[in-house]
Amino acid sequence: MIQMLHVHKTYSNGQKALIDVSLKLDKGEFVYIIGPCGAGKTSILKLIYCAQRPTKGMVLFGDKNVARIRKSRIPYLRRNIGIVFQDFKLIKTRTVFENVALALEVIGATITDIQKKVWKTLSFVGLYNKSNEYPIRLSGGEQQRVAIARAMVNNPLILLADEPTGNLDPEMTVDIIDLLDKINIRGTTVLVATHNPDLAKNKRKVFTLEKGRITNG
């Protein structure tokens, strides 16, 4: 479903973030990318949702090389991708409900459709009774759930989660990973980037990233 082929990314300041990275994700898989801070995990995710373009190599989404996608097509690509950002990127002036609804608003969903899907998703992530709260009034774990809810509300083909447990205590971490598992079981491909090797223990598919290179199979 997603395939990177000999991808290099050098930022404009000369920083080599990715060196000859190749990886493959099949439909329905739950995949981890682990590596220390600065290894290039976020860069890989950004190449997938086209916030950055590779310096060299191909990034295939389905059979489309998104490395060469036209700028005007990028929004439509992103509608197939749910993104959970490292810093959540929730809007402070919007309630939980409105934050989640935004993902449907921007694709032109109807109000009834938005109501139905947002409530369903909020109860799925366990935030049904926090819908009117503003993000700052929520705990880190709850904010992470809002971010996940927004990423999954329009049923994307793939969910990208960047350090989804980065700021959470171990208990919350387990909750969030369980939630991501539930999403994966429903059929969504999930890609998690993390610096925490414990998360990837006993997992079927793990890519290890070090200094921009993939060091395992």
Partner 1 sequence: MFLKKGFYFFDKAFQGIRQNPFINFINFGTITVSLLVLGTFLVIFFNLNRVLDKWRYESHVTVYLYDSISFDNTSDIKDRIAGFEEVERVTYISKKEALNIIKEALQIYDNSFEGLEVNPMPATLEIQLKKKFLSSTGVESFVARIKIFKEIKEIQYDQEWIKGFSAFFSLFQIGGLAIGVGLLLATILIVSNSFQLGVYARKEELEIMKLIGATDFFIKVPFLLEGVFQGLLGALVSIGLLYGIYQVVIFKVRPFFSIYIRELDPSFLPLDFIFGLTIGGILMGMLVSIVSMRKFLKSY
Ligand X SMILES: Nc1ncnc2c1ncn2[C@@H]1O[C@H](COP(=O)(O)OP(=O)(O)O)[C@@H](O)[C@H]1O
Contact residues: Mg ion, CB under 5 A = 42
Token pair for 96: 């939980």
Distance of alpha carbon 171 from alpha carbon 183, whole angstroms = 19
125-163 in b/e form (b: 16+ CB < 10 A) is bebeebbeebbeebeebbbbbbbbbbbbbbebbbbbbbb
Among partner 1, ligand X, Mg ion, none, what does residue 130 contact (CB within 5–8 Å per kind)? none
Task: Give the per-residue contact string, 53-92, with partner 1 (x = CB under 8 A; - = no).
Answer: ------------------xx-xxx-xx---x-x---x-x-
Single out the residue of 21, 30, 34, 41 in contact with ligand X (rule: CB under 6 A): 41
* Residue 72 contact among Mg ion, ligand X, partner 1, none, beta carbon within 5 to 8 Å by kind: partner 1
Q: Residue 21 forms beta bridges with which residues?
A: 7
The verdict on 157 binding partner 1 (CB under 8 A) reads no
Alpha carbon distance, N-terminus to C-terminus of the chain: 18
Site string for partner 1, 6-45 (x = CB under 8 A): ----------------------------------------
